[in-house]
A and B are shown apart, each in its own frame.
Chain A
Amino acid sequence: MSILVDKNTRLVIQGITGREGSFHTTQMLEYGTNVVGGVTPGKGGQWFSTDSKKVPIFDTVKEVVEATGANASLIFVPARFAVDAIYEAADANIPLVVCLTEHIPVLDMIAARAYLDTLNVRLVGPNCPGLLTPGEAKVGIIPGAIAMPGSVGVVSKSGTLTYEVIDALTKLGIGQSTCVGIGGDPISGTNFIDVLALFEEDPATEQIVMIGEIGGNAEEQAAAYIAQHVTKPVTSFIAGRTAPPGRRMGHAGAIVEGKSGTAESKVEALRVAGVRVADNPDDIAKIVASRQ
């Protein structure tokens, strides 16, 4: 068991022929992800080929769904066209849309999220590394080699910081059920609470690691949710304790504005909710190990 993606995932890649899209599609195919089709408008009928595999390319997502029964989409489309790609996947009745694209304007995401909610489509991202269910499906760019199957669910706003944690867990012999990168934008399709709820229900997940960062109050809301609804042990880390106010730390959402969005407030809320918060990312895997 796992959440959101597994061996039954039938994935379509939007933007499969682009530089990023083609590189990472190859990686996903090597990992064993069931990539059933790709979309690049104007290149329908061609094939995406690796040494051992061939994936048909279509002009539209609708055609892929009709031809292959795709049930998840991964978007590598550049920022100016990415929102359109999200709408297209949703209109083709794809229930899970994962958008890796960075730099989508926030007002566009407000509109997109509102529309997707009316269709019951789950969006993960944008500006995220995607999902990985070790041994079953890699839907995104989380390196497969550092993960192993197991019982720790990982949810994070960050990319490489998450890889650190996955790597450290694996090195201690602790596997992961599913790793979910929700992204660091101010408006996301899926938030901490959504993923916490899924991990809580997933019988294969025994512990949860939640990696947050400065900006907004998603971590505080997650803390309140954990106190009420999560019975599994949660270990956390909040990046950005040293960030100065008013400066955006890389991610569009990672900014301390006045007194809101500070690491202190998030750490405090999580501790009150019974979450073990590591002061140092190196300690996360050790804490998880000690709680097994």
Chain B
Amino acid sequence: MNLHEYQAKRLFAEHGVPIPNGDVASTPAEAREIARELGGKVVVKSQVLVGGRGKAGGIKLANSPDEAETVASQILGMNIKGFQVNKVLIDEQAPGGIDQEIYLAVLIDRARRLPMVMVSAEGGMDIEEVNERSPEKIFRAYIEPALGVRSYQTTYLASAMDLPRDLWRDFHKIVVGLYACFKTNDASLTEINPLVITGSGKLMALDGKMSIDDNGLYRQPRLAEMRDVDEETAAEKEARLSGINLIQLDGNIGCMVNGAGLAMATMDVVKKFGEAYNCAPANFLDIGGGAKSEQVATALRLILSDKRVKAVLINIFGGITRGDEVARGIIEALDQVKIDVPMVVRLAGTNAAEGMAILADSDMETAVTLSDAAQKAVAAAKGAN
């Protein structure tokens, strides 16, 4: 789960990381009032869970409350890469301007199995780009959870990126705070880009990004409430609440699969056979273990709620789940959901033959192998293109 900039920065501030004064507005009038309280010179920032807000025109300076109101009215309601802007953050402009931009993040290094602090003096831009162009400008320190952030580590990082020495002490406090924020909130990423040196010589987190480990949310009730439903589509939300894992994509072949790995593989094979005909998977959907008819029905309904879907591919490997049970589930689901696109079903594994026999009486197309199923689904969808 990703947090908005304003949520991330407030959490950073709870751990002593300096952030600009500011507040969130949902209307231009609120933006004006906040700008007035902040003394007029502000930056108006769209709060959407997607990168590249600045380039898309979603971040603008304003030098008076009037201007803040005008700018906010332009940004609110904007669509940035498919996300509608419902909130803007009104922050004071960095005191004395910006002298330097730094990158600072805490994240998990999977290979070393440790949290890692990553810094670069090349802040303010995409860290991936920095890593590609000049990887030698990125510096890392690994945190042993039992030891926490040690001062020699932050000294190394500060020195490596030539941070002015009078800021080393403050930098240490910020890294310690950002790591504490990471740890106490079950984050998988806390990122400040940029961390700036202001014209008045202070370090300040101008931006903030934070991803929370979904598996930790049960013990983070405050964060669970921060989930922005705008981050997921209505169908994705309903799926999540029904224990189905759904991610909607741009293609035209709806996929229903059991198991995440098999779901990905099914999408890959659909894409492979569909590429030449402009056919691609419309979604990732894992109905999970022990497919019950109710879940099959919900999954089908959600897949079909996407009007771009021209064919549905059901691929179930009966392991512990028996193929005949799944087949009955599909038949039951057909009673509950009106299907107006062609369907291809492939059952494999335990009791697959019995399952296919049950489906033989329906007007669904059946397939034996995954390739066979994908090719049939593509054939059905391309006719409708």
Also in contact, A107 and B272, with CB within 8 A (given A142-B319, A258-B128): no
Contact B350 A146 (CB under 8 A): yes
B317 within 8 A of A: yes
A178: Cβ under 8 A from any B Cβ: no
Among A133-192, those with CB < 8 Å from B are 141-143, 145-146, 156-164, 167, 184, 186-187
Secondary structure call for the A interface: loop
Question: What chain B residues lie within 8 Å of A164 (beta carbons)?
Answer: 262, 265, 317, 348-349, 370
Q: Mark A110-154, 1 if CB is under 8 A from B, else 0.
A: 110110000000000000000000000000011101100000000
Cα A80 to Cα B219 in complex, Å, equals 9
B145 touches A110 (CB 8 A): yes
Q: Give the distance in Å from the alpha carbon of A10 to the alpha carbon of B268 in the complex.
A: 40
CB neighbours (8 Å) of B267 from chain A are 242-243
Partner of A216, one of B111, B132, B263: B111
A158's partner among B262, B271, B349 (CB-CB below 8 A) is B262
B187 vs chain A, min Cβ distance (A): 9
Which residues from A are CB-within-8-Å of B216? 105-107
> Of A27, A186, A214, which contacts B320 at CB under 8 A?
A27
By a CB distance below 8 angstroms, the chain B residues around A80 are 218
Min C-beta distance of A161 to chain B, whole Å: 4
Tell me whether A240 is interfacial, beta carbon within 8 Å.
Answer: yes
Q: Is the CB of B370 within 8 A of A280?
A: yes
A23 to B289, CA, bound (A): 13
B183 within 8 A of A: yes
C-alpha spacing A164/B2, complex, angstroms? 34
Instruction: Convert B127-170 into 0s and 1s, putting 1 for each residue whose CB lies closer than 8 angstroms to a CB of A.
Output: 11000100000000000010000000000000000000000000
User: Do B261 and A184 touch across chains, with their CB atoms under 8 A apart?
Assistant: yes
* Alpha-carbon gap, A281 to B215, bound state (A): 30
A106 engages B108 (CB within 8 Å): yes
Closest to A156 in B: B261
B320 near A239 with CB under 8 A, answer no
- Of the candidates A110, A159, A241, A282, the one whose C-beta lies within 8 Å of that of B261 is A159
What residues of chain B lie closer than 8 Å to A158, measured between beta carbons? 259-262, 265
Closest to A191 in B: B111
Does A259 contact B128, Cβ atoms closer than 8 Å? yes
Question: Roughly how many angstroms separate A113 CA and B108 CA in the complex, as a whole number?
Answer: 14
Q: Which of A113, A160, A162 touches B258 (beta carbons < 8 Å)?
A: A160
The interface-forming segment of A47-55, A228-236, A249-257 is A249-257
Cβ–Cβ contact B108 & A186, under 8 A: yes
Instruction: Answer whether residue B245 sits at the interface, using C-beta atoms and an 8 A cutoff.
Output: yes
Q: Does B247 contact A (CB under 8 A)?
A: yes
Residue pair B348, A252 in contact (C-beta under 8 Å): no
- Interface size on A, as a range, is 35 or more
Answer whether residue B281 sits at the interface, using C-beta atoms and an 8 A cutoff: yes
Residue from the list A244, A258, A281 in contact with B265, Cβ < 8 A? A281
Q: Is A143 a contact of B261 with CB atoms below 8 Å?
A: no
Q: By the criterion CB–CB under 8 Å, are B319 and A143 in contact?
A: yes
Inter-subunit contact B215/A252 (CB<8 Å): yes
Q: Is the CB of B261 within 8 A of A157?
A: yes
A254 surroundings in chain B (CB, below 8 A): 260, 264
Interface size on B, residues (CB 8 A): 51
Cα A213 to Cα B249 in complex, Å, equals 19
What residues of chain B lie closer than 8 Å to A107, measured between beta carbons?
A: 115, 145, 183, 186, 213, 216
Determine whether B188 belongs to the interface, using a CB cutoff of 8 Å to chain A: yes
CA of A24 to CA of B371 in the docked complex: distance in angstroms?
31
Contact of A110 with B113 at beta-carbon distance under 8 Å, contacts A27-B320, A141-B319, A146-B349 already known: yes
A177 to B252, CA, bound (A): 41
Q: Does A271 contact B (CB under 8 A)?
A: no
Residues of B close to A263: CB separation below 8 A: 268
Q: How far is the CB of B376 from chain A (nearest CB, A)?
A: 14
Interface assignment of A199: CB less than 8 Å from any CB of chain B: no
B98 at the interface (CB under 8 A from A): no
From residue B114, how far is it (CB to closest CB) to chain A in Å? Answer: 7
Smallest Cβ-Cβ distance to A167: which chain B residue: B349
A221 within 8 A of B: yes
Inter-chain contacts of B280 with A (CB < 8 A): 242
Contact at A242–B260, with CB atoms within 8 Å?
A: no
Asked if B214 is at the interface of the complex by the 8 Å CB criterion, the answer is yes
**Which A residues are in CB contact (< 8 Å) with B108?**
106, 110, 186-187
Contacts of A282 in B (CB 8 A): 269, 369-371
B272 touches A280 (CB 8 A): yes
Q: Which residues of A contact B349 (CB under 8 A)?
A: 143, 146, 163-164, 167
Shortest Cβ gap from B315 to chain A (Å): 9
- Residue among B108, B284, B286, B319 with most chain A CB within 10 A: B319
Which residue of the partner chain A has the closest CB to B128?
A258
Instruction: Flag if B370 contacts A143 (CB, 8 Å).
Output: no
| B260 near A249: Cβ-Cβ < 8 Å | yes
In the complex, whether B222 has a CB less than 8 A from a CB of chain A is: no
Residue from A110, A243, A247 with most neighbouring chain B CB atoms (10 Å): A110
5 A-B contacts, Cβ less than 8 Å apart? A143-B319, A217-B111, A241-B268, A241-B271, A258-B128
Residues of B bordering A, CB below 8 Å: 108, 110-111, 113-115, 126-128, 132, 145, 183, 186, 188, 213-216, 218-219, 245, 247, 249, 257-265, 267-272, 280-281, 284, 286, 317, 319-320, 348-350, 369-371
Known: A107-B213, A239-B262, A247-B284; 7 extra A-B contacts, CB below 8 A, are: A107-B183, A160-B258, A217-B111, A240-B264, A242-B267, A250-B284, A250-B286
**Residues on A close to B: CB < 8 A?**
23-24, 27, 79-80, 103-107, 110-111, 113-114, 141-143, 145-146, 156-164, 167, 184, 186-187, 211, 213-214, 216-218, 221, 237, 239-244, 247-254, 258-259, 263, 279-282
